[in-house]
Chain A
Amino acid sequence: MNRQTTSNKTSALSYSLRDVAFIALTGVFCGAIFFGTSLSYNFLAAGLAAIGLGPFANDVLLGLWMIAGPLAAMLTQKIGASTIGELLGSFVEMILGGQWGAATLISGLVQGVGNGLGFAMTGYKRFDKLGLLLSTITGTLITFGWSMINEGYGKYNLGFLLLLLLVRFISIGFFAGVLVYWINKLVEKSGILNRD
């Protein structure tokens, strides 16, 4: 069996130096892969801004920012891993020169907690399709709530707001849900996590 299924409650809470380095490195990788696309973000944003749909650039790509969290949770199966993964990921983005600065840290925390809630709802027992599905739902709702306040989404008219919510759910559902599921399947098939 791989180490995921043999982990028990105490090991689910304690992080070793290696776990921390692993989660941080995965975060750095996600950041680096994402930054390969930041150019396309600006193009997309510019195109959409011209027709008054600027925030969609944000919502379409939000899922990409949120891969690190659920990935860390699925791979390490530890309590709080998605929050730590997302927070480290956003820290990397901030340091590598993301354009949002300190706000990145706060949204990283919001995203991590949002994702983590989904796994928490399963009692940190279901790191599978169900856990991921719940985490994409809670991730969408929590981040959207924060956008209502922070990015002023509450001031849009209702139709526009619902469209934004839908786009965000599709983005998070695909990147932080389906894609993470595919990645995890590759990892499980390869057996690279059986290292203890």
Chain B
Amino acid sequence: MNPSLKLGLVLIISFELAFMQSVIANLIVAGLGLIYLILKRVSPKKILWMLVVSIIPVFGTWFSFYTHGAGDAMHSAWLLSTRIYAYIFLGGILSYTGTVDELLGSLEQNCHLPSKFVYGTLGAFNFAPRVVLTVKQMKTAAMMRGEALHVWSPEIFFKSILISLRWSDNLSQAMVSHGFNETTTRTHYDTFAIPWWNWPVAGICLVGLQFLAFSGLF
């Protein structure tokens, strides 16, 4: 499925899910998401990880509604804890069945997002592994001077800003010197089309969602 359409669909479903009051609908959405992930051959390790990582928040949500809920606390507890699973599998669809490059490329071509946003973001994302490394280096360097940097220390953010400034300068200069232009129209090597069957599939998903939303399931 076209990445932009997939993003739009997942966002609409996630948004509407927030207003739905049905445990069964949550389970159906979560189940369909899981089936899609399995059909797309996402590795079982990733799926297992999604299940494991959600145990604490799901249990925490369930138990806090159980103890502090008003009204039908049991229904709230099950509703909000199953909703977490629906969100996690919907998110998994975006994270694991497509790449950032595809998504951004498709947003540029299909949704006409300005190219400076697409390539500026893309350039920055390619720094992600180095950013993680740099944060570790900053912490280690500070420890060698006998200082511990925490998330509440302004210094760690200040250093990050310094590096972001330098890298964004270098990145934009490098891009411009390689021929990037913000204003002219671009040609594309990888083109993203929206196949005709995407529209009926998206339509069926949305109509199905309305059935779940308004059928009054438990």
Using a Cβ cutoff of 8 Å, how many contacts connect chains A and B? 219
Determine whether A33 belongs to the interface, using a CB cutoff of 8 Å to chain B: yes
Q: How many residues of B contact A (CB 8 A)?
A: 75
- Do the beta carbons of B59 and A54 come within 8 Å of each other? yes
Determine whether B40 belongs to the interface, using a CB cutoff of 8 Å to chain A: no
- Do the beta carbons of B95 and A28 come within 8 Å of each other? no
Residues of B within 8 A of A15 (CB): 116-117
Determine whether A42 belongs to the interface, using a CB cutoff of 8 Å to chain B: yes
Determine whether A130 belongs to the interface, using a CB cutoff of 8 Å to chain B: no
Q: A50 — nearest CB in chain B belongs to which residue?
A: B63
Residues of B within 8 A of A160 (CB): 68
- Do the beta carbons of B157 and A179 come within 8 Å of each other? yes
Binding site for B on A (CB under 8 A): 15-22, 24-30, 32-37, 42, 45-46, 48-50, 52-55, 57, 64, 67, 71, 75, 88, 91-92, 94-97, 99-106, 146, 149-152, 155-158, 160, 174-175, 179, 182-183, 185-187, 190, 192-193, 195
Residues of A within 8 A of B131 (CB): 25, 28-29, 32
- Given A28-B128, A32-B135, also A20-B121 (CB < 8 A): yes
Inter-chain CA distance A33–B76, complex, in Å, is 34
Majority SS at the chain A contact face: helix
Contacts of B134-173 to chain A: CB distance below 8 A: 134-135, 139, 151-152, 154-158, 160-165, 167-169, 171-172
Contacts of B92-130 to chain A: CB distance below 8 A: 92-95, 100, 116-117, 119-121, 123-125, 127-128
Q: B64 — nearest CB in chain A belongs to which residue?
A: A54
Of A29, A37, A195, chain B has the most CB atoms within 10 Å of the CB of A29
- Do the beta carbons of B61 and A155 come within 8 Å of each other? no
CB proximity of B81 to chain A, nearest CB, Å: 10
Task: Pick from B83-91, B185-193, B194-202, B204-212 the stretch touching chain A.
Answer: B83-91
Residues of A within 8 A of B64 (CB): 49, 52-55, 156
**Mask of B23-60 contacts with A, CB within 8 angstroms, 1/0:** 00000000000000000000000000010011011011
